[in-house]
Structure 1
Amino acid sequence: MLVVTRLRTPSGPGGPDPAAEAELRRGLLHALEILASKPGHVGGEVGRNVDDPTLWVLTTRWENVGSYRRALGSYEGKMHIQPLMVHAVDEPSAYEVVEEGTDLNESQPRSLG
Protein backbone atom coordinates (compact mmCIF):
# COMPACT_ATOMS: atom_id res chain seq x y z
CA MET A 1 0.00 0.00 0.00
CA LEU A 2 1.03 3.58 -0.59
CA VAL A 3 0.43 6.50 1.77
CA VAL A 4 0.69 10.06 0.42
CA THR A 5 0.27 12.80 3.00
CA ARG A 6 0.53 16.41 1.85
CA LEU A 7 1.23 19.09 4.44
CA ARG A 8 1.33 22.87 4.24
CA THR A 9 3.93 25.04 6.00
CA PRO A 10 2.23 27.30 8.55
CA SER A 11 2.40 30.95 7.61
CA GLY A 12 2.31 34.10 9.64
CA PRO A 13 0.86 37.52 8.86
CA GLY A 14 3.73 38.29 6.45
CA GLY A 15 3.55 35.01 4.53
CA PRO A 16 5.55 31.79 4.91
CA ASP A 17 7.44 31.51 8.19
CA PRO A 18 11.04 30.25 7.65
CA ALA A 19 11.25 28.96 11.24
CA ALA A 20 7.99 27.02 10.82
CA GLU A 21 9.28 25.62 7.52
CA ALA A 22 12.49 24.40 9.16
CA GLU A 23 10.50 22.86 12.02
CA LEU A 24 8.12 21.08 9.64
CA ARG A 25 11.05 19.76 7.61
CA ARG A 26 12.75 18.38 10.73
CA GLY A 27 9.46 16.90 11.90
CA LEU A 28 8.82 15.14 8.60
CA LEU A 29 12.33 13.69 8.45
CA HIS A 30 11.94 12.46 12.04
CA ALA A 31 8.52 11.00 11.17
CA LEU A 32 10.06 9.11 8.26
CA GLU A 33 12.77 7.72 10.59
CA ILE A 34 10.13 6.52 13.04
CA LEU A 35 7.97 4.94 10.35
CA ALA A 36 11.00 3.29 8.71
CA SER A 37 11.74 1.47 11.97
CA LYS A 38 8.29 -0.15 12.11
CA PRO A 39 7.41 -3.67 10.89
CA GLY A 40 5.88 -3.70 7.43
CA HIS A 41 7.56 -0.50 6.23
CA VAL A 42 8.85 -0.91 2.68
CA GLY A 43 10.15 2.59 1.85
CA GLY A 44 9.44 6.29 1.93
CA GLU A 45 10.46 9.84 1.10
CA VAL A 46 9.92 13.42 2.17
CA GLY A 47 9.51 15.98 -0.61
CA ARG A 48 8.72 19.62 -1.20
CA ASN A 49 6.68 20.90 -4.13
CA VAL A 50 8.78 22.62 -6.81
CA ASP A 51 6.05 25.12 -7.73
CA ASP A 52 4.72 25.82 -4.24
CA PRO A 53 7.50 25.53 -1.63
CA THR A 54 4.97 25.74 1.21
CA LEU A 55 3.57 22.33 0.17
CA TRP A 56 5.36 19.21 1.49
CA VAL A 57 4.72 15.49 1.08
CA LEU A 58 5.47 12.43 3.20
CA THR A 59 5.18 9.30 1.06
CA THR A 60 5.56 5.82 2.54
CA ARG A 61 5.06 2.30 1.24
CA TRP A 62 3.79 -0.58 3.40
CA GLU A 63 3.24 -4.32 3.14
CA ASN A 64 -0.41 -3.77 4.11
CA VAL A 65 -2.78 -1.25 5.66
CA GLY A 66 -2.56 -2.89 9.09
CA SER A 67 1.19 -2.31 9.27
CA TYR A 68 0.71 1.38 8.48
CA ARG A 69 -2.07 1.85 11.01
CA ARG A 70 -0.10 0.07 13.75
CA ALA A 71 2.95 2.25 13.03
CA LEU A 72 0.89 5.43 13.19
CA GLY A 73 -0.83 4.24 16.37
CA SER A 74 2.45 3.35 18.10
CA TYR A 75 3.70 5.40 21.02
CA GLU A 76 6.25 7.17 18.78
CA GLY A 77 3.58 7.74 16.14
CA LYS A 78 1.22 9.34 18.63
CA MET A 79 3.94 11.48 20.20
CA HIS A 80 5.85 12.65 17.12
CA ILE A 81 3.86 12.04 13.94
CA GLN A 82 0.24 12.76 14.79
CA PRO A 83 1.02 16.33 16.00
CA LEU A 84 2.41 17.07 12.50
CA MET A 85 -0.94 16.14 10.99
CA VAL A 86 -2.39 19.49 12.04
CA HIS A 87 -0.58 20.78 8.93
CA ALA A 88 -1.91 18.01 6.66
CA VAL A 89 -4.17 18.77 3.71
CA ASP A 90 -7.58 17.22 4.51
CA GLU A 91 -7.80 14.49 1.88
CA PRO A 92 -7.61 10.69 1.73
CA SER A 93 -4.00 9.50 1.93
CA ALA A 94 -3.97 5.67 1.73
CA TYR A 95 -3.86 4.03 -1.69
CA GLU A 96 -3.65 0.48 -2.87
CA VAL A 97 -0.91 -0.21 -5.38
CA VAL A 98 -2.27 -1.07 -8.83
CA GLU A 99 -0.37 -3.70 -10.77
CA GLU A 100 -1.27 -5.58 -13.93
CA GLY A 101 -3.24 -8.74 -13.18
CA THR A 102 -4.10 -7.95 -9.55
CA ASP A 103 -7.55 -7.48 -8.08
CA LEU A 104 -8.47 -4.16 -6.50
CA ASN A 105 -10.45 -3.66 -3.33
CA GLU A 106 -14.17 -3.31 -3.87
CA SER A 107 -15.35 0.24 -4.39
CA GLN A 108 -17.48 0.67 -1.27
CA PRO A 109 -17.29 2.57 2.02
CA ARG A 110 -15.31 0.78 4.72
CA SER A 111 -17.42 1.93 7.66
CA LEU A 112 -20.28 -0.11 9.05
CA GLY A 113 -22.43 2.93 9.37
Structure 2
Amino acid sequence: MFAVIRYSVPEARAEEFGKHAQEILDVFAAQPGYRAGRVGRAVDEPGLWAIVSEWEGAGYYRRALSAARMAMYPMMSLMINEPSAFEVVSGS
Protein backbone atom coordinates (compact mmCIF):
# COMPACT_ATOMS: atom_id res chain seq x y z
CA MET A 1 0.00 0.00 0.00
CA PHE A 2 1.06 3.59 -0.34
CA ALA A 3 0.29 6.72 1.64
CA VAL A 4 0.01 10.33 0.55
CA ILE A 5 -0.08 13.04 3.22
CA ARG A 6 -0.65 16.46 1.66
CA TYR A 7 0.17 19.83 3.16
CA SER A 8 -0.66 23.42 2.23
CA VAL A 9 2.56 25.29 3.03
CA PRO A 10 2.97 29.08 2.81
CA GLU A 11 6.17 30.06 0.99
CA ALA A 12 7.50 31.66 4.18
CA ARG A 13 7.44 28.22 5.85
CA ALA A 14 8.70 26.12 2.93
CA GLU A 15 12.26 25.69 4.22
CA GLU A 16 11.04 24.82 7.72
CA PHE A 17 8.53 22.37 6.29
CA GLY A 18 11.17 20.66 4.15
CA LYS A 19 13.27 19.95 7.25
CA HIS A 20 10.28 18.58 9.19
CA ALA A 21 9.16 16.48 6.22
CA GLN A 22 12.59 14.83 6.05
CA GLU A 23 12.41 14.21 9.81
CA ILE A 24 9.05 12.46 9.33
CA LEU A 25 10.51 10.30 6.53
CA ASP A 26 13.46 9.39 8.75
CA VAL A 27 11.08 8.21 11.48
CA PHE A 28 9.03 6.28 8.91
CA ALA A 29 12.18 4.65 7.50
CA ALA A 30 13.04 3.26 10.93
CA GLN A 31 9.65 1.52 11.25
CA PRO A 32 8.86 -2.10 10.37
CA GLY A 33 7.09 -2.52 7.03
CA TYR A 34 8.52 0.65 5.46
CA ARG A 35 9.56 0.25 1.82
CA ALA A 36 10.27 3.74 0.43
CA GLY A 37 9.36 7.38 0.77
CA ARG A 38 9.80 10.80 -0.75
CA VAL A 39 8.81 14.43 -0.28
CA GLY A 40 7.37 16.30 -3.23
CA ARG A 41 6.15 19.76 -4.11
CA ALA A 42 3.47 20.45 -6.74
CA VAL A 43 4.98 21.84 -9.94
CA ASP A 44 2.02 24.10 -10.73
CA GLU A 45 1.11 24.99 -7.15
CA PRO A 46 4.31 25.29 -5.08
CA GLY A 47 2.42 25.70 -1.80
CA LEU A 48 1.12 22.13 -2.10
CA TRP A 49 3.52 19.53 -0.71
CA ALA A 50 3.20 15.77 -0.18
CA ILE A 51 4.94 13.08 1.80
CA VAL A 52 4.52 9.82 -0.12
CA SER A 53 5.50 6.50 1.42
CA GLU A 54 5.16 2.81 0.56
CA TRP A 55 4.41 0.10 3.12
CA GLU A 56 4.03 -3.66 3.33
CA GLY A 57 0.49 -3.10 4.67
CA ALA A 58 -1.90 -0.60 6.22
CA GLY A 59 -1.20 -1.82 9.75
CA TYR A 60 2.48 -0.95 9.39
CA TYR A 61 1.59 2.51 8.14
CA ARG A 62 -0.85 3.17 10.96
CA ARG A 63 1.69 2.10 13.59
CA ALA A 64 4.33 4.29 11.92
CA LEU A 65 2.00 7.29 12.13
CA SER A 66 1.82 6.76 15.87
CA ALA A 67 5.63 6.55 16.08
CA ALA A 68 6.01 9.72 13.98
CA ARG A 69 3.44 11.74 15.94
CA MET A 70 6.01 13.99 17.63
CA ALA A 71 7.85 14.68 14.36
CA MET A 72 4.54 15.44 12.63
CA TYR A 73 3.11 17.68 15.34
CA PRO A 74 4.85 20.99 14.36
CA MET A 75 3.34 20.82 10.86
CA MET A 76 -0.14 19.48 11.76
CA SER A 77 -1.82 22.83 11.14
CA LEU A 78 -0.60 22.67 7.51
CA MET A 79 -1.87 19.14 6.89
CA ILE A 80 -4.82 18.73 4.53
CA ASN A 81 -7.45 16.63 6.29
CA GLU A 82 -8.20 13.79 3.87
CA PRO A 83 -7.69 10.02 3.67
CA SER A 84 -4.03 9.16 3.20
CA ALA A 85 -3.79 5.35 2.89
CA PHE A 86 -4.27 3.78 -0.55
CA GLU A 87 -4.46 0.17 -1.63
CA VAL A 88 -2.66 -0.60 -4.88
CA VAL A 89 -5.20 -1.92 -7.40
CA SER A 90 -3.03 -1.89 -10.55
CA GLY A 91 0.42 -0.92 -11.72
CA SER A 92 3.61 -2.24 -13.17
Q: Same fold (TM over 0.5)?
A: yes
Query: Is 1:55 equivalent to 2:48 in the alignment?
Result: yes
Query: Is 1:45 equivalent to 2:38 in the alignment?
Result: yes
| Count of equivalent residues | 91
Q: Give the alignment's Cα RMSD to 1 decimal.
A: 1.4
The SS at the match of 1:4 is strand
Q: Equivalent residue for 1:8?
A: 8
The structure with the larger Rg is: 1
Q: Equivalent residue for 2:71?
A: 80
Higher relative contact order (CA 8 A, sep 6+): 2
- TM-score normalised by length of structure 1: 0.74
Q: Which runs of 5+ in 2 are unaligned?
A: none
Higher helix share: 2
Contact 1:72 1:82 in 2 (8 A): no
CA distance in 1, matches of 2:74, 2:87: 25
- TM-score normalised by length of structure 2: 0.90
Q: Which runs of 5+ in 1 are unaligned?
A: 11-15, 101-113
CA distance in 2, matches of 1:62, 1:24: 23
Q: Equivalent residue for 1:95?
A: 86
Deviation at 1:83, TM superposition (A): 3.5
The SS at the match of 1:57 is strand
